[in-house]
Structure 1
Amino acid sequence: MVQTDNRPRVAWIAGVGASAGLGAALGRRFAREGFTVALTGRTRERIEAVVDEIRRTGGDALALPGDVTSESEMAVIAAQIAQAGALEAAVFNAGNSSSARLLDLGAAQFESVWRAGTLGGLIFGKEAVRAMLAAAGGSLLFTGATASLRGRPPFAAFAASKAALRSLSQSFAREFGPQGVHVAHVIIDGGIDGERLRQAAPQRIEASGGDGLLQPDEIADAYWRLHQQPRSAWSQEIDLRPYNESF
């Protein structure tokens, strides 16, 4: 945790979609703490809806849509953020799951998942770290999944992408931790009670018993606590799961 300078504190969240999702919950959480939140995702309309929601509750938010796999687009967004304030927290929550049996998994599909989930993490992380090194440090947080630790069919592409992102987070942490940037990886080990799961598997929502799924706002609390950690006791990785999730 740092107080960078007298400019507004900014938290940049990449991977923001529906209001009932983790990216939006992270934006709301950091806005509640007085941050200007810069929200990045692929769909402008969805991002602007979350920005309006945050502003209606008294927070400050910016809609900065873009493709995390594009170096030029991320550089433009980083420059816009620098105009808004001092980047103190950045969360890479982007990525896309894709299912296919291995013999049916084409190179294009595999590469698409890797680009969004791993290459995007590299590009986003570099822009975030550049801003933090120019200030007094900050927090760079990556969203992982059960697939970060083990692969299983039919999610080989997703698992490969998430395992690589985990390794990337460790590399960022070892290089930039000594320079004041707290890098952490959060393994989300279970289903999130958000729009994606509600649409794809409503029966799982019903069977969860109310607290058998991860709640986006409660996950966001854990990210906030990571950002708050004193540098004498930083976590590089934590895992989150419902009480009844097997592991």
Structure 2
Amino acid sequence: MNTSALSSTAPEKAACVVVVGVGAEQGIGAAVCRRFAQEKLKVYVVGRTLNKVETVVAAINAKGGHAVAYGLDAEDEQQVQALFDRISHQQEQLSAVIHNVGGNIPSIFLQTSLQFFNQMWRSTFLSAVLVSQSSLKIFQRQQQGTLIFTGASASLRGKPYFAAFTMGKSALRSYALNLAQIYSPQNIHVAHVVVDGMVDGDRVNKALLGLGRLVRLTRGGGGLNIEAIAENYWMLYQQSRNLWTHELDLRPYQENF
């Protein structure tokens, strides 16, 4: 966890965490929300579909956590800025922001429309730019903060049928590591998490009328456990500035490199 550089005479603010890109209750975003809420942090559960984030919030609050549902389109600059303006106006301490936006959708390259490429670029990369621009301004004022991006192995090696996804995630990785270089001296921890493998969540398990779950189970390691992923996000947040991780590689024990 970052060490605050704020004056000890300043009034203590309530700490909060923002997780952008929360969908199904069994997904990375929701698991990260639950993990941070366990530590008594107020969690803004942010997603495009309000009824999904409300389900996640209800489960967290039922267990004694403090979560707030917030619906927005992470590709809309005004909507993203409005969220962080709200946090600033409420004088809350923004402790961490997790960007978890962008799904993996396959396509055949020569049959992929420009509209599809634009859609993938906006969800995987543009949304990250908007979220980081708004959050980093607050982190700079506070002189501390943690910003974590959910990446993918596509940022390191593209595979057939995933050119559009590779494009967005490669840009995200370069962008995140560049931000880490710029903002680390300002006591702002920026980390990029490479998620390599099928995730044991609703998006995979319910894909192709349930065949996604079968594919995940037949692959080595059975997929990435979402609670284990969330534990690693918490570990990144807890790190001392004396030794920060800026890129973390997560994969099942039998996943191919």
TM-score by length of 2: 0.92
In the other structure, the counterpart of 1:134 is 141
Matches within 5 A, 1:77-96: 77-82=83-88, 83=90, 85-96=92-103
Question: What is the match of residue 55 of structure 1?
Answer: 61
Match of 2:8 in 1: none
Letter in 2 for 1:172: L
- Whether 1:123 aligns to 2:123 is no
The aligned runs of 1:32-111 (5 Å cut-off) are: 32-82=38-88, 83=90, 85-111=92-118
Partner of 1:233: 243
- Does residue 202 (structure 1) correspond to residue 213 (structure 2)? The answer is yes
Answer yes or no: is the 8 Å Cα contact 1:2–1:136 preserved in 2.
no
Once the two structures are TM-superposed, the CA of residue 8 in structure 1 deviates from its matched residue by: 1.6
The Cα of 1:113 is off from its aligned counterpart by 0.4
TM-superposed deviation, 1:96: 2.3
> Of 241, 250, 255, which residue of structure 2 is paired with 1:245?
255
Equivalent of 1:186 in 193, 198, 201: 193
Unaligned runs of 5+ in 2: 5-10
Which 4+ residue blocks in structure 1 deviate beyond 4 angstroms?
none
**C-alpha distance in structure 1 between counterparts of 2:158 and 2:108, whole Å:** 12
Structure 1 counterpart SS, 2:255 = coil
Q: Give how far 1:208 is off.
A: 4.7
**For residues 70-103 of structure 1, what are the alpha-carbon distances to aligned partners after superposition, in whole Å with 9 as ceiling and x for unaligned?**
1100011112223262111000000122221111
State the Cα distance separating 1:64 from its structure 2 match.
Answer: 1.2
* Counterparts in 2 of 1:102 and 1:208: CA distance versus 1, 3 Å: closer
Shift of 1:229: 0.8
What residue in structure 1 maps to residue 16 of structure 2?
10
Asked if 1 retains the 8 angstrom alpha-carbon contact of 2:145 and 2:189, the reply is yes
**Distance in 1 of aligned mates of 2:159 and 2:199:** 19
Which piece of structure 1 moves more, 18-27 or 145-154? 145-154
1:137, CA displacement in angstroms?
Answer: 0.6
Output the aligned Cα RMSD: 1.4
Aligned AA (1:52) = A
Matching residue of 1:150 = 157
The equivalent residue for 1:22 is 28
> CA separation in 2, counterparts of 1:29 and 1:184?
17
How much does 1:207 deviate? 2.2
User: Are 2:177 and 1:170 equivalent residues in the alignment?
Assistant: yes
Q: Alignment length, in residue pairs?
A: 246
TM-score for both structures, normalised by structure 1: 0.96
Shift of residue 202, structure 1, vs aligned partner: 2.0
Asked whether the 8 Å contact 2:15–2:41 carries over to 1, the reply is: yes
Show CA shifts across 1:184-207 (max 9, x none).
000001111000110111212432
- Over the matched positions of the two proteins, sequence identity in percent amounts to 38
- Cα distance in structure 2, aligned partners of 1:100 and 1:208: 22
Q: Quick check: 39-48 or 96-105, which moved more?
A: 96-105
